[in-house]
């Protein structure tokens, strides 16, 4: 564990070997080349510098500066792309990694600028370099004109505004490529030979800038103070030892990032295929034009040779005429003029044919250039259409996700309502059964009381009839009518044992009442 921390700290210190100046002043980082780290009791402690790496000390300081600028550019661009994925690839001026990127890019572009020559000589500024881009790329003229209209006073402020507009235009990598392609022509006037923009490492910077085309930036330049010195980079965001452990990765976020990267990869591959097809077509047309030009040159050489041979024949005819008729000047002149006219007629016809072919080749070249411009405009339109489609797809994905969440919520609510409905139906069923039982018991008690009243009326007991009436009133049972009494079958029939019937009826009614309660 301690060994890995030592290795991570050494890597960090090696990467911090970073020297960048801001108007002649060094940043807060100093050059650390030979710092040793020793582990005592599980902690790191810097010791005095020792010369253990003579190869490192022998390196060119300019090469070290270029390497450090490339390394920190890689870290800043990587952090910028990763954080942009978390913000939906829409960044504004307050985004800290974006501010760090502009600071590092400014150091990269200013590395190796030639100093002022003499007291009265002009000072080489980055703004002068960026203004040269519009000579080779017409699209840069728009942002250059926009920067001139901004309320910016210093050359450095205009250069910062130009870089921000180029990033919003998603043409920053193309403009840097223009500078790299013409570094042998105009760049030596502004940069030293050991500058980063004059070395092969500038191609790495251009490749890093190509990856930023997937980011959409919304920067308000009028509200920023571009003339003042920019802030200092917090390198703790980028320099971490291998032993440090961050937060646990989110699987869902990783899947989203992976899908986004795959979408970008597919888009770049499709764009690359279209560009390769266009380049192949243009190369075929260039080869055809080259072949036609070679054929025209051969025809011209043949015509010149034929003209030369005819002139030689003309000279031979003149000599023959002189030898055959030395005194016939008139006939000799006539023959010479006739021969010259025939030669001129033939040469004029050949020259007219060559002019026609040349005009045809010029027309073909104009047509090829027009087609190339059409292909370029179609490519730009395709890029805009692909960006709009990507934005529309992301919006539709967000809509589908929200609709799915709403559908899940509705399903959950329906399930709860269905459970409550089943519980209510079960309670209603139980209460209905209880009501039915109560109705049955009430009817049974009413029959019993009716029988008791009949018996009491037959026996003539007023006291029992009053009790039964009270009991009937308590139970809400209609009163007994005399017509309901059964007629005796014969007068000799024995009367029922009324006390016994009353006691049994009272007992049954009491049991019913107790059971009902």
Assess if residue 79 is contained within a domain.
Answer: yes
Contact 380, 171 (CB under 8 A): no
The pLDDT tens digits of the residues spanning 144-154 come to 999 998 888 89
Q: 3-class SS at 473?
A: helix
Angle, CA 206 vertex, CA 74 and CA 225 arms, to 5°: 75
Same domain, 102 and 192: yes
CATH of the domain at 184: 1.20.58.900
Assess if residue 197 is contained within a domain.
Answer: yes
Which of 222, 240, 258 is where one domain is finished? 240
Tokens for 256?
């989203």
Angle, CA 82 vertex, CA 77 and CA 88 arms, to 5°: 120
Contact 346, 310 (CB under 8 A): yes
The pLDDT tens digits of the residues spanning 346-357 come to 777 888 888 888
Directed axis angle between helix 202-210 and helix 61-86, to 10°? 0
Same domain, 65 and 36: no
Record the pTM.
0.41
Q: What is the DSSP letter of 200?
A: T
Assess if residue 439 is contained within a domain.
Answer: yes
CB atoms within 10 A of CB 53: 12
Same domain, 153 and 46: no
Which of 44, 59, 74 is where one domain is finished? 59
Who has greater pLDDT, 136 or 511? 136
The pLDDT tens digits of the residues spanning 229-274 come to 777 777 777 765 544 444 444 556 666 676 777 777 777 877 888 8
From residue 61, give the alpha-carbon distance in Å to each of 66, 334, 391.
Answer: 9, 85, 46
Q: Of all helices (H) and strands (E), which one includes residue 33?
A: none
Host domain of residue 8: 1-59
Assess if residue 260 is contained within a domain.
Answer: no
Same domain, 70 and 54: no
Contact 111, 157 (CB under 8 A): no
Same domain, 12 and 90: no
The pLDDT tens digits of the residues spanning 176-197 come to 999 999 888 888 888 999 999 9
Assess if residue 257 is contained within a domain.
Answer: no
Q: Provide long-range contacts, Cβ within 8 A and 24+ apart, for 250-253.
A: 253/86
Contact 65, 49 (CB under 8 A): no
Question: Is residue 42 very low, low, confident or very high in pLDDT (cuts 50, 70, 90)?
Answer: very low
Same domain, 136 and 26: no
The total number of structural domains that make up the chain: 3
Provide the pLDDT for residue 23. Answer: 38
Task: List, in sequence order, every residue forming a beta bridge with 91; answer none if it has no partner.
Answer: 217
Same domain, 125 and 226: yes
Assess if residue 252 is contained within a domain.
Answer: no
Angle, CA 116 vertex, CA 112 and CA 119 arms, to 5°: 165
From residue 307, give the alpha-carbon distance in Å to each of 313, 321, 366, 478.
Answer: 10, 21, 32, 147
Same domain, 52 and 80: no
Which of 187, 221, 240 is where one domain is finished? 240
Question: Is residue 429 very low, low, confident or very high in pLDDT (cuts 50, 70, 90)?
Answer: very high
Directed axis angle between helix 61-86 and helix 2-15, to 10°? 110
* Whole-number Å distance between alpha carbons of 196 and 208: 14
Q: Provide long-range contacts, Cβ within 8 A and 24+ apart, for 270-279.
A: 271/382, 271/383, 271/386, 274/379, 274/382, 275/379, 278/375, 278/379
Provide the pLDDT for residue 439. Answer: 92
Question: Is residue 158 very low, low, confident or very high in pLDDT (cuts 50, 70, 90)?
Answer: very high
What average pLDDT does the segment 16-37 reach?
Answer: 37
Same domain, 16 and 80: no
Same domain, 12 and 154: no
Q: Which residue blocks in 224-328 are alpha helix, DSSP H?
A: 251-324
Assess if residue 332 is contained within a domain.
Answer: no
Who has greater pLDDT, 456 or 288? 288
From residue 494, give the alpha-carbon distance in Å to each of 282, 489, 497, 503.
Answer: 134, 10, 9, 19
Same domain, 48 and 120: no
Directed axis angle between helix 329-459 and helix 498-516, to 10°? 150
Assess if residue 442 is contained within a domain.
Answer: yes
- Whether the per-residue pLDDT at 400 is higher than 90: the answer is yes
Same domain, 47 and 107: no
């Amino acid at each position: 564990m301690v060994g890995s921390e030592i290795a991570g700290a050494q890597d960090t210190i090696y990467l911090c070997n970073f020297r960048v100046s801001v108007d002649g002043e060094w940043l807060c980082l100093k050059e650390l080349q030979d710092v040793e780290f020793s582990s005592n009791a599980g902690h790191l402690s810097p010791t005095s510098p020792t010369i253990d790496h003579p190869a490192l000390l022998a390196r060119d300081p300019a090469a070290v500066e270029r390497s450090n600028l490339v390394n920190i550019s890689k870290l800043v661009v990587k952090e910028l792309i990763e954080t942009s994925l978390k913000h939906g690839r829409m960044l504004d001026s307050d985004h800290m990694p974006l501010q760090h990127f502009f600071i590092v890019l400014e150091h990269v572009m200013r590395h190796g600028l030639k100093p002022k020559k003499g007291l009265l000589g002009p000072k080489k500024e980055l703004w002068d370099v960026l203004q040269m881009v519009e000579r080779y790329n017409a699209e840069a003229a728009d942002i250059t004109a926009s920067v001139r209209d901004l309320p910016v006073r210093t050359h450095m402020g205009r250069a910062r505004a130009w870089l921000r507009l180029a990033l919003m235009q998603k043409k920053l990598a193309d403009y840097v490529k223009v500078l790299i392609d013409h570094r042998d022509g105009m760049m030596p006037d502004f940069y030293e030979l050991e500058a980063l923009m004059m070395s092969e490492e500038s191609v790495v910077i251009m490749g890093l800038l190509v990856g930023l085309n997937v980011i959409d930036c919304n920067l308000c330049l009028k509200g920023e103070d571009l003339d003042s010195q920019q802030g200092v980079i917090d390198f703790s965001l980028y320099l971490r030892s291998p032993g440090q452990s961050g937060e646990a990765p989110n699987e869902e976020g990783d899947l989203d990032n992976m899908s986004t990267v795959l979408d970008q990869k597919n888009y770049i591959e499709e764009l690359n295929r279209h560009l390769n097809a266009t380049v192949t077509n243009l190369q075929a047309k260039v080869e055809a034009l080259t072949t036609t030009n070679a054929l025209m040159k051969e025809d011209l050489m043949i015509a010149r040779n034929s003209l030369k041979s005819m002139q030689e024949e003309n000279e031979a005819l003149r000599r023959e005429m002189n030898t055959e008729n030395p005194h016939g000047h008139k006939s000799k002149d006539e023959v010479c003029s006739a021969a010259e006219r025939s030669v001129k007629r033939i040469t004029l016809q050949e020259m007219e044919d060559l002019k026609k072919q040349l005009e045809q080749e010029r027309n073909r070249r104009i047509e090829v250039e027009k087609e190339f411009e059409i292909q370029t405009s179609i490519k730009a339109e395709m890029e805009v259409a692909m960006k709009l489609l990507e934005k529309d797809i992301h919006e539709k994905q967000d809509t589908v996700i929200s609709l799915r969440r709403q559908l899940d919520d509705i399903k959950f609510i329906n399930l709860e309502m269905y459970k409550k409905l089943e519980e209510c139906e079960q309670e209603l069923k139980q209460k209905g059964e209880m009501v039915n039982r109560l109705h049955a018991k009430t009817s049974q008690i009413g029959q019993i009381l009716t029988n008791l009243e009949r018996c009491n009326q037959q026996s003539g007991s007023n006291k029992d009839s009053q009790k039964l009436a009270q009991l009937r009133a308590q139970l809400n049972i209609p009163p007994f009518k005399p017509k309901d009494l059964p007629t005796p079958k014969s007068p000799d029939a024995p009367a029922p044992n009324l006390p016994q019937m009353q006691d049994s009826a009272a007992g049954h009614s009491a049991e019913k009442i107790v059971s009902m309660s």
